[in-house]
Amino acid sequence: MSMKELIEYIAKALVDNPDQTVVTEVDGSQTSVLELKVAKEDLGKIIGKQGRTARALRTILSAASAKLKKRTVLEIIE
């Protein structure tokens, strides 16, 4: 499972409108950037109280990408 698929799977499980969840990957030489876009009404669910859900997503992503010896950053697009 790629990092993109991982974030897409988790995000779709969290939101009410999984069909509007889009993850795009911008590949760099050392760092990949994953851009997560969800429906406006689902933004709060992805960010969570005080950003806890977003922080958890980033923690999972950094742990999984460390295993692949790559750096991956998650950007949540509003």
- The whole-number pLDDT of residue 46 equals 95
Token pair 């969800």 is found at: 38
- The whole-number pLDDT of residue 30 equals 84
**Domain count within the chain:** 1
Q: Which domain holds residue 25?
A: 3-77
- The whole-number pLDDT of residue 28 equals 84
Kindly give, in sequence order, each residue whose CB lies less than 8 Å from that of residue 45, ignoring residues fewer than 6 positions away: 14, 15, 16, 38, 53
- The whole-number pLDDT of residue 69 equals 87
Which pLDDT tens digits describe the chain residue by residue (78 residues)?
A: 789 999 999 999 999 999 999 999 998 888 999 999 999 999 999 999 999 999 999 999 999 999 888 899 999 998
CATH of the domain at 35: 3.30.300.20
